[in-house]
Amino acid sequence: MQFDSEEYTSNALWFVAGAAVGATLALLFAPTSGRVTRRKIRHVARKGGIALERTGQDLMDKSKDLYEKGRGLADEAAELFDRGKKLVEG
């Protein structure tokens, strides 16, 4: 199975957005005072922000790994090309 970073990012963002909307709606319809509701919304928003930050960091780490692998492959290809060129030139 191949890792598709765009799909992963899209799914992660939709999940976080859905969770935030669901939690906010649940809190708004809960029978609590405005002060308590606002405090709960802030708490949920902070947790969502932390989750989003972690997802972003994971994506950055995976992107760096893919970049390094791609760079290594490009370097290998350039080296093979140079060797082939030297063989052909004699």
pLDDT in tens, the chain (90 residues): 455 667 767 777 788 888 878 877 877 777 777 788 788 878 888 888 888 888 888 888 888 888 999 999 999 999 998 888 888 887
Range of the structural domain that residue 76 is part of: 5-89
Predicted structure pTM score = 0.47
Number of domains in the chain: 1
Predicted pLDDT of residue 71: 92
Give the separation between CA 16 and CA 77, rounded to whole angstroms: 40
Separation between Cα atoms, residue 40 and residue 35, nearest integer Å? 9
Token pair, residue 78, equals 């350039």
* pLDDT recorded at residue 74: 92
pLDDT score recorded for residue 3:
55
The residue type found at 41 is I
